[in-house]
Amino acid sequence: MSSLHQANSDLQCFFAERALLPSGWANNVLFSVKNGQFYSLETNSTATDKANILSGPVLPTIANVHSHAFQRIMAGAAEVSLNPNDSFWSWRDLMYKIVQKLTPDDAHIIAKQLYIDMLKAGYSQVGEFHYLHHDIGGKHYGQLAEMSNQLIAAADDAGLGLTLLPVLYSHSGFGGQAPNAGQARFIHSTDSYLTLHQACAKTLANHPIHQLGVCFHSLRAVTKPQIDTVLQTLNASSNTTSPIHIHIAEQQKEVQDSINWSGQRPVEWLHNEIGLSDRWCLVHATHLTETERQAIASSQAIAGLCPTTEANLGDGIFPAVTFEKEGGRWGIGSDSHVSLSIVEELRTLEYGQRLRDQQRNRLYRPEQTSVGDNLYQQALLGGNQACSVSLGLAVGNRADFMVLDESQPFMAASDNKDLLNRWLFATNENLVKDVFVAGQQRIKNFHHEHEESSRSAFIRIIKKVMYDA
Ligand code: NGQ
Ligand code: ZN
């Protein structure tokens, strides 16, 4: 396999009996890839001698908009009742305890395994919302970007595109409250954050598949002057298009604290005091008034929905049906990584809306009445915008795609109209068989070339961190 940093400049040809293009399903698709991008693409064609025949339905991979890689180690380990009022906030206390234990090496091993598992699920880019910056005592590492560099190395090992979102985190609550001890490893001043951001920009410059964004942990963690300074400074250094991510309005307590502090709800405050645009990815944005929902929709900001984590943490249900009708854009993220399945994220999103509304078929559009097709296409577009990539089977886009397992009966028998609905609503086994990133095959017949070594290292770290073994 050629180097991760060097896209193959030879022309590779592929043939798929059916493939999902931006315009919908097409048959007998012959396409070529050069320098990591789609170079040509013809439908209703025939396989040439040189073409690699792809063995099942071909789909674009999607960008996972929200990840805290280190949290993978505790997925499923916080499902024991500690008191009758267990909540998001008691989960966070447990999460802070794990945070105290992780070394840079641990972070690398966890992220590498996670990123391999993301590729196996059909994600080929991840928005890594990265705030675990400092050493166990809360001091800066010798290299400010030590932990960021571990994540970059993990993404390179796996062959996954990283949209690194270094996080500014300075306070524990609205109005600049002092951070608590559990947050010591996260804390940056505005200046040290800008230095970190610059170091990351240098490392990632000209990297073919990684991107860099801007990130504020939440309105609890930063003040208005900090947001203004960071955006003005980065915009001045011509960083005017990179995505800006923030956690917002995930829990009712956060909404209430925001009102107590400013008289405004979180999204209302962000919209009025800073301004929304299509650069923003508002992660969760669960609790919205009609005005807030419309403000996000009309700004074309992405709602970064994390359906399985939001269900796991008891956040609430995002108003996706009305938001979509208003032209709102959304993407999906696996966040705390209680699930690494595109199927489960999209199914949970649709089912949450059905359960709330006591109706069926909620997330469709007049021009796309198939729920599965609509969910997949919206998640693809939203993921692209929030992670600053262009995934999708079209000439000029990065050549990322996956092949589903044609031996699964529904995949073998379904016509194009039903295929995505069959996958998203009627299968439980993983059907993602092959995955290509920038033209390079990373998953081959369900297998990643580094999975055995990664797996044993990950087992060792789980035992050490979680069970003191
Ligand atoms: C986080 N996670 O930073 O990892 C947050 C929890 C917080 C989610 N919001 C902590 N899912 O928001 O303070
Ligand atoms: Zn998060």
Residues 407, 312 share a domain: no
Rg of the chain over CA atoms, in angstroms? Answer: 22
Question: pLDDT digits over 345-378, tens only?
Answer: 999 999 999 999 999 999 999 999 999 999 999 9
Averaged pLDDT for residues 93-98: 98
Q: How many CB atoms lie within 10 A of CB 93?
A: 12
Q: What pLDDT sits at residue 6?
A: 53
Which residue, among 254, 253, 242, has the nearest Cα to 217 in the 3D structure? 254
Averaged pLDDT for residues 187-216: 97
Q: Is the pLDDT of residue 204 over 90?
A: yes
Averaged pLDDT for residues 13-24: 98
Residues 337, 243 share a domain: yes
CA dist 363 and 311 (Å) reads: 18
177: Cα separation from own chain's centroid: 29
Catalytically annotated residue among 335, 373, 405, 434:
335
Q: What pLDDT sits at residue 240?
A: 84
Q: Which pair of tokens denotes residue 67?
A: 């990840």
With a pLDDT cut of 90, the percent of the chain lying above it is 97
Q: What pLDDT sits at residue 237?
A: 85
Averaged pLDDT for residues 405-413: 98
* Angle, CA 173 vertex, CA 171 and CA 174 arms, to 5°: 105
CA dist 222 and 234 (Å) reads: 16
Residues 145, 18 share a domain: no
Instruction: Indicate the residue type of 186.
Output: F
What total of structural domains would you count in the chain? 2
Q: Is 335 a catalytic residue?
A: yes
Instruction: Indicate the residue type of 164.
Output: L
Residues 171, 35 share a domain: no
Q: What pLDDT sits at residue 206?
A: 86
Q: At what angle do helices 342-357 and 416-426 cross, to 10 degrees?
A: 80
Q: What pLDDT sits at residue 1?
A: 36
Q: What's the CA-to-centroid distance between 328 and ligand 1, angstroms?
A: 23
Q: Is the pLDDT of residue 163 over 60?
A: yes
Q: Is 5 part of any domain? A: no
Confidence of residue 5 (pLDDT cuts 50, 70, 90): very low
Q: Which pair of tokens denotes residue 403?
A: 């092949």
Question: pLDDT digits over 214-251, tens only?
Answer: 999 999 999 999 999 999 999 998 778 999 999 999 99
Residue with tokens 């409250």: 177
Question: pLDDT digits over 27-41, tens only?
Answer: 999 999 999 999 999
Q: How many CB atoms lie within 10 A of CB 359?
A: 10
Q: What pLDDT sits at residue 467?
A: 97
Q: Is the pLDDT of residue 2 over 90?
A: no
In the 8-state DSSP scheme, what is residue 173? B
> Measured from the CB, is residue 345 less than 6 Å from ligand 1?
no
Which residue, among 152, 128, 114, has the nearest Cα to 66 in the 3D structure? 128
> Measured from the CB, is residue 92 less than 6 Å from ligand 1?
yes
Instruction: Indicate the residue type of 304.
Output: G
> Measured from the CB, is residue 128 less than 6 Å from ligand 1?
no
Averaged pLDDT for residues 311-315: 98
Residues 267, 135 share a domain: yes
Residues 345, 235 share a domain: yes
Which atom in ligand 1 lies closest to the alpha carbon of residue 283? 9
Residues 432, 352 share a domain: no
pTM over 0.95: yes
Catalytically annotated residue among 284, 287, 337, 448:
284
With a pLDDT cut of 70, the percent of the chain lying above it is 99
Q: Is the pLDDT of residue 68 over 80?
A: yes
Q: What's the CA-to-centroid distance between 264 and ligand 1, angstroms?
A: 21
Q: What pLDDT sits at residue 4?
A: 44
- Maximal CA-CA distance, the chain: 68
CA dist 254 and 263 (Å) reads: 13
Residues 137, 124 share a domain: yes
Q: Is 228 a catalytic residue?
A: no
Q: What backbone phi and psi angles, to 5 degrees, belong to 421?
A: -65, -40
Question: pLDDT digits over 78-95, tens only?
Answer: 999 999 999 999 999 999
Question: pLDDT digits over 52-64, tens only?
Answer: 999 999 999 999 9
Q: Is 469 part of any domain? A: no
Q: What pLDDT sits at residue 170?
A: 98
Q: Is 467 part of any domain? A: no
Residues 242, 159 share a domain: yes
**Of 247, 257, 283, 336, best ligand 1 pocket probe by most atoms within 8 Å of the beta carbon:** 247
Q: Is 404 part of any domain? A: yes
CB proximity list for 447: less than 8 A, separation 6 or greater? none
Q: What's the CA-to-centroid distance between 214 and ligand 1, angstroms?
A: 17
- Say if residues 211 and 162 touch (Cβ distance below 8 Å): yes
Range of the domain at 185: 62-387
